[in-house]
Chains A and B, each alone.
Chain A
Amino acid sequence: MLIPAAYALLKIGRVVWMPVDGSLHGPAADRLMWWNLVALCAIAVAGHLWLAFAMLRRKPAKRSVPAMARWVLLAGFCGMYAWMALTAQNLWAETRYEGPLQTAMHVEVVGVQFQWYFRYPGPDATYGVTRPRLVNAAAGNPLGIDPRDANGRDDVVSSVLVLPAGREVELRLRSLDVMHGFFIPGMRLKEDAIPGMTLHVHFTPEKVGTYPILCSQVCGLGHDRMQARLMVVSPADYAAWIAGRERAREAEE
């Protein structure tokens, strides 16, 4: 039964695995994934060996498996599950129980059928007010930022997420229409963007590079094309980029 799988793996020449990780918390998650997969694969193989042995054994055994052995085995599994739950819980608590650092930069992620928008709060570090009625992508205001609100004047809206390497970032996720799933495989990060709610996640990109951003929650007929890019750049490049965007925005006005 494992033959076709092995064949498929041989045929593609290399095992398909998770994409290269670029985040701070990623290596720990990857290690956890690796150990989990190894342990559970080993158990699956052991279970099937047992099964094969039972199927091939022609002459019936005199004695059955004592009840004690079954309970001991079950206790062993309980221990393993508890260990898995605890190690995973540590990581979950590390990434989700606490908010971001004071020094974290803030970016807002907004999902619209079928496009991701990223809003930087600008020098005043405050997002401007948005109103659904003002949304007009064709007129350059895809998020409906209210022009009368001073906080919104310096907001920069981009369709590419550009982040400096090594600095924690706090994302605030929103959706204007239906549920979307904000997924950066290279950052081991996923959180849904739910209309009517504002969800927060934070992470630290470490490695410079370009990472795809996907939509992981079916959102309509353009679901599979709802993709964007995360560009992790050096802090200097980031400063230059955001300054450029600010100038471009001012020039527009």
Chain B
Amino acid sequence: MRRALGKVFTTDHRRLGVMYLLLALAAVAVGTTLSLLMRFHRVWPNAVIPGFGVMKPEDYLALVTMHGTLMVFFVLTVAPQSGFANLVLPGQIGARGMAFPKINATSFWLTLVSFLVLISAAHLTAGGAPISGWTSYPPLSALPAAGPGQGLGMDLWLVSIGIFCVAAWLSALNMLATIVGKRRAGMTWARLPMTVWSWLVASVLTLLAFVVLLAAVGMLFSDRHFGTNFFIPMGDMINGQVVGHGNGSPMLWLQLFWFFGHPEVYIAVLPGMGLATSLFANFSRRRVAGYKMMAGMLVAIGLLGLLVWGHHMFVSGINPYAGTAFAAVTMAIAVPSTAEVIGWLATLWGGGLRLRTPMLFALGFLSFFIAGGLTGPILAQPSLDVYLHNTFFVVAHFHLIMAMAGVFGVFAGVYYWFPLMTGRLMNETLGKVHFWVSLIAAYGTFLPMHFAGLAGEPRHYDRLTGPAMNFTALLPLERGITYSALLLAAAQGIFLWNVFVSARRGRVAGVNPWESTTLEWENGEVPSLIERGPYEYELPQGEGGYHPQWESPVKQE
């Protein structure tokens, strides 16, 4: 009994990493189910769904809110940042563990509590889940009378996010203290694997962004329960009742929320970028093209990412000159992103790639990064954003760049580091089928959404027909999207099957199955001094020659 408890309440970072990944798996399963219900409802609005009946508009909005919150917080933040970093970060820098193992474990348990509170918001409250979307703009989110689910459901949402913020803050400070303070001698900044760089930048963003959300959530909670007026404007009325008696400003929430919300996007995608860089080098047996530039550009993306939050508010009454400034900074962030893509493509250019499953998913990440990233400059232009803001074009954009790229990064990580978790390799054939079906289905789901957006269809609409505007011309398109989404979800069954079967009966991996150079693959004792760079592959000299970081240069002579 004590041993079992010891296994659960562990401070071992690898175990915690796996637990984070399992938590993300649970969240993604729920989140995907919700999105399928949404897709189903959009195409067959009058169908009776088992367990739901005919879906009401508030049900649809509750689904949107829960889907967004689960995916952004509990999947895209938890899996790449907390999950994988716990699994391999100490190994990659040659440390024995995290700087603060107990804080690390606390952070996990807080995240779990936050997840449970969020789920209970949907299932245990009378009004159901909140309907104000994951952005929770007040006064809709500030007033229980504003809609179903805005009562206890909204309170639980706020509590859940508050707990998550604390957990993220603890996790980030632990990660930063580990990266800065626990590197092995000789593991200089220029010898860090790109994944460590990306976790470093993402941790800084986490540290700075989540506390701002915590402040905003606290103020909103105070507005709801302690009679303050931070966000509720003067004379605001709901259902014929005047409720606003101070002049709070909803814009204040927008500023605080997006100061968190935009860096959050980078927190979700940066680890994927670092991992993709590593995998491209590993599976092309080539050094990263411009390591220092790639690392520097990651930092640049992080810094600029803190300055662009205003582009979510081009049409929310910010000063038009501020709009120009935010547009310029947003456009500027395209430059380091492009530099990353050029660096990746330059690494890959030489060909001779080993197209194993992790590599395929990293390539898929790159494909989504290009396809989703390139609509970024369009949305960065306020005069075009005036039309596209809050339409399905934006939905398509962030699902490609954040959701699909992020998730493909996570898949790449799972396939790549699976031997570290189980000692076995995942099945290659199943992995490849999983990749190609997922890739095609993901594009089939999200590319057509651009056209729905161009047709002017706003987000959060639960049906295509309205009193004034009819989007019935989109119905075939929407059907295609729904079929594609079903296929995408079904393809994940292959993945789950592969995980469970390979964990028990997969091919035994042996030492360093991918012939990697980074330290997490070192089986024996890591030397006390690191003297090699992270990506010393030498393809042209001889097939697959490489020098892992744990080798000393002398031995090779």
Contacts and interface: CB of A to CB of B under 8 A. Distances in A.
Interface of A: 1-5, 7-9, 11-12, 15-19, 29, 32-33, 36-37, 40-41, 43-44, 47-48, 50-51, 53-65, 67, 69-70, 73-74, 77-78, 81-82, 84-85, 88-89, 91-93, 95-97, 113, 131-133, 135-136, 176-179, 181, 183, 185, 188-192, 194-197, 199, 212-225, 227-229
A177 to B, nearest CB: 5
Interface string B518-557: 0000000000000000000001100000000000000000
A180 to B, nearest CB: 10
A81 B539 CA distance: 36
Interface in B341-378: 341-343, 345-346, 348-353, 355, 363, 366-367, 370-371, 374-375, 377-378
B383 A32 contact: yes
Given A84-B377, A196-B248, A44 B349 contact: no
Contacts of A194: 250-251, 316-317
B469 A212 contact: yes
A33 B451 contact: no
Contacts, number: 331
26 contacts: A3-B440, A4-B447, A5-B448, A11-B480, A12-B476, A19-B456, A43-B370, A51-B363, A53-B351, A61-B349, A69-B346, A70-B290, A85-B331, A88-B383, A88-B384, A133-B242, A177-B139, A177-B236, A181-B315, A191-B317, A197-B250, A215-B458, A220-B61, A224-B460, A224-B462, A225-B466
B244 interface: yes
Contact of A195 (B244, B367, B387, B539): B244
Interface in B99-137: 131-133, 137
A221 B367 CA distance: 37
Interface string B311-355: 000011100110110011001101100110111011011111101
A62 to B, nearest CB: 6
Given A48-B367, A57-B351, A132 B61 contact: no
A7 B480 contact: yes
Contacts of A93: 320, 324
B147 interface: yes
A183 B317 CA distance: 14
Interface in B198-255: 233-238, 240, 242, 244, 247-251
B57 A224 contact: yes
Nearest to B466: A227
Contact of A223 (B61, B335, B345): B61
B348 A40 contact: no
A227 B374 contact: no
A196 B249 contact: yes
Contacts of A224: 57, 460-463, 466
A2 B139 contact: no
A179 B141 CA distance: 10
B474 A16 contact: yes
Given A54-B345, A65-B346, A224-B57, 5 more contacts: A33-B378, A51-B367, A185-B456, A218-B64, A221-B61
Contacts of B242: 132-133
Contacts of B474: 16
A4 B443 contact: yes
A15 B451 contact: yes
Contacts of A229: 468
Contact of B315 (A81, A91, A131, A190): A190
Contacts of B17: none
Contacts of A55: 348, 351, 353, 355, 363
Contacts of B64: 218
Contact of A47 (B247, B341, B480): B341
Nearest to A224: B461
A222 B466 CA distance: 11
Interface in B251-290: 251, 284-286, 289-290
B468 A5 contact: no
B307 interface: no
Contacts of B386: 29, 95, 188-191
Contact of A227 (B132, B345, B380, B469): B469
Contacts of B451: 9, 15-17
A123 B557 CA distance: 94
Nearest to A61: B350
Contact of B338 (A1, A17, A74): A74
Contact of A177 (B238, B247, B350): B238
A214 B460 CA distance: 12
A221 to B, nearest CB: 4
A213 B468 contact: yes
B339 A74 contact: yes
B466 A61 contact: no
Contacts of B353: 54-55, 57
Nearest to B368: A1
A54 B447 CA distance: 24
A29 B454 CA distance: 13
B58 interface: yes
A218 B57 contact: no
Contacts of A51: 345, 348, 363, 366-367
Contacts of B461: 223-224
B290 A223 contact: no
A43 B377 CA distance: 12
Contacts of B131: 218, 220-221
B317 A192 contact: yes
Contacts of B371: 44, 48
Given A60-B350, A132-B242, A223-B461, A8 B448 contact: yes
Contacts of B317: 191-192, 194, 197, 199
A173 B367 CA distance: 41
Identify which of A19, A29, A88 gathers the most chain B CB atoms within 10 Å of its CB.
A88
Nearest to B471: A16
A195 B236 contact: yes
Given A64-B349, A196-B244, A16 B454 contact: yes
B455 interface: yes
Contacts of A221: 56-58, 61, 131, 147-148
Contacts of B139: 177-179, 195
A62 B352 CA distance: 11
A33 B460 CA distance: 24
B439 interface: yes
B476 A214 contact: no
Contacts of A9: 448, 451
Nearest to B248: A196
A16 B469 contact: no
B98 to A, nearest CB: 36
Given A1-B440, A40-B374, A92 B458 contact: no
B381 interface: yes
